[in-house]
Structure 1
């Protein structure tokens, strides 16, 4: 062991050695200068615009352009594009054929799909400062809080078919940004164009199908899904007041649903899907009844006839049959178990009766053992003193 004075000297020397070994801390690097940020870019002002039917002086309060023309006739009309925003905007004004969306809303085909019917009969007039892109297409710049009136002419061909030829005029906002994604934000005015003459009105249900969707809950009804197409094979647009009904044999479990449609254009169709709750009565009859109706302010001089289509849907009670099979299996199993238990009990009773009525058996006497065999004596040896006599003849 080291003496006490030496240990004290070493203890005092250790901190000095540590200070000598530890290198000096590196100086923290100076922070890099931060470039001043650019001024924030103000978001583009929102653009709000409208298009309305109008006269040469401006909007006249109409909600659409409605004309009934003879074949070969023409008429002049106007629409006004109003920019309600705080910045100038450029709009693509074009004409297109009318269509109805699956939800029943009227729309105009995109500018990429050129018009082939009523839209092809509409020509946009000249507008000061506008760029003409075609007979039915203009690029119009509208200053902030201003409006531009666009004249148009509807010219019906001499061989046009009598009836409705829907069209529309649309003002679509032109996005001048660098984005490759095009958002078609547009508003428009509908053109109700009818060619005078004798017309037919016919709206029927076609391709009616009924499909059974059973419920796996045996205590709730299943669903009969009925699909069909409302086909307008006439010359004028029509609405439909439809009723879809279903019933089992002898009218059991009858149910129905209304299936109305506001508008189906001539030559067009609309898909309908109706779900009816139904109990599985093996065979269910489905009936689709369609009554055509006049749309809005239209005048139809043709007879409107209601039609009905009937189909059959097979509605087997799968879940109920499965429940019956399960109950039957349980009953058979319970009955088999009861029979087995009864046989066991009866066997025990029979054994007890036999044991009670049979007297106890007497013990049998012990069996006697056979006598031991006596030992046989060996044959006597001949005596040597006896000599056999031989008698001579």
Structure 2
């Protein structure tokens, strides 16, 4: 029994490294040199040509063919030495690439990425390119709206540097409990020229009120931005019931007024004489035979 258990443990211990090796990718792509750089960082002024390399490692026992493509906002500035590379078994190969910064490029950060694909698998290497010159931080809040129990708005980075915004939402009404909510790091990073639409839940929103919703966005390196919208909440079921009760109460009153208008006028006594009215004059009835 002990021998069987020991054999099982030995088999499991031997199988664990094999399982981990089977789960590991057979190829990788990463920045060349630098010992595990998470991305490629490049910096230059407009008109500069910058160069770097990627390493593709084939750990399998078969040749590997990798296809490359680039994307993101600075993708048109990228030039790859080749878009197709065959790597022999258990070999690491390098692929050079360059970035030509246009003469009219705006100062600030311009992200890009190079994606490698082979055998149904893709892997990307990020490129963080910084163009020298004065940076401009500009953040705006736009398209604020209220729908049900949610507040929706858009954040737009109109500058040339990434921003990390913080949001403050405040509501002012007549009857309901005011809302004051602060959200940090949402989204964690807003790249230049990017727009994101966000939704915030509104717990315990009023059922009957007229409310102003104020949204204020701040980010280090950018002036704050504010936007406001108004929302009116009416309990439509209650309003419909009240309207129905008013209509029901108005019908008998209308019928009573119609009956009153339709009844004939009471005749006046035959001996009633109208005396002229004025100061000192008194209306009296004339006696017959006077």
TM-score normalised according to structure 2 size? 0.68
Check 1:48–1:284 CA distance in 2 against 1; reply closer, same or farther (3 A cut). Answer: farther
Conserved 8 A contact 2:176-2:209: no
Equivalent residues, number: 223
Conserved 8 A contact 1:247-1:255: no
Is 1:121 matched with 2:57?
no
| Separation in 1, partners of 2:46, 2:158 | 21
Aligned mate of 1:263, from 160, 180, 189: 189
Other structure's SS at 1:262 match: coil
| Separation in 2, partners of 1:272, 1:264 | 12
Is 1:315 matched with 2:290?
no
Match of 2:70 in 1: 95
Check 1:280–1:250 CA distance in 2 against 1; reply closer, same or farther (3 A cut). Answer: closer
- Equivalent residue runs for 1:61-140 within 5 Å: 61-98=36-73, 118-125=74-81, 132=82, 138-140=83-85
Can you list the C-alpha shifts for 1:115-171, whole angstroms capped at 9, x where unaligned?
Answer: xxx22222223xxxxxx4xxxxx2111233332111222221222222222111111
- Equivalent residue runs for 1:39-58 within 5 Å: 48-55=26-33
Match of 2:155 in 1: 230
Other structure's SS at 2:76 match: helix
Conserved 8 A contact 1:245-1:287: yes
Other structure's SS at 1:199 match: coil
Aligned mate of 2:127, from 165, 169, 191: 191
Match of 1:350 in 2: none
Other structure's SS at 2:146 match: strand
Larger Rg: 1
5+ residue gaps, structure 2, are 1-21, 250-290
Instruction: Please report how far the alpha carbon of residue 309 of structure 1 lies from its aligned counterpart in structure 2 after TM superposition.
Output: 1.0
Conserved 8 A contact 1:255-1:276: no
- Equivalent residue runs for 1:367-382 within 5 Å: none
| Separation in 2, partners of 1:323, 1:251 | 22
Match of 1:349 in 2: none
Match of 1:203 in 2: 139
Conserved 8 A contact 2:170-2:178: no
Match of 1:24 in 2: none
Instruction: Please report how far the alpha carbon of residue 96 of structure 1 lies from its aligned counterpart in structure 2 after TM superposition.
Output: 2.1
Match of 2:92 in 1: 147
Conserved 8 A contact 1:91-1:141: yes
Instruction: Please report how far the alpha carbon of residue 279 of structure 1 lies from its aligned counterpart in structure 2 after TM superposition.
Output: 1.7
Conserved 8 A contact 1:51-1:82: yes
Instruction: Please report how far the alpha carbon of residue 325 of structure 1 lies from its aligned counterpart in structure 2 after TM superposition.
Output: 7.9
Whichever structure has more strand as a proportion of its residues is 2
Instruction: Please report how far the alpha carbon of residue 314 of structure 1 lies from its aligned counterpart in structure 2 after TM superposition.
Output: 0.8
Can you list the C-alpha shifts for 1:193-234, whole angstroms capped at 9, x where unaligned?
Answer: 1111112111111111122x2xxxxxxxxx1x2222211111
User: What CA RMSD, in Å, does the superposition of the two structures yield over aligned residues?
Assistant: 2.8
Check 1:142–1:261 CA distance in 2 against 1; reply closer, same or farther (3 A cut). Answer: same
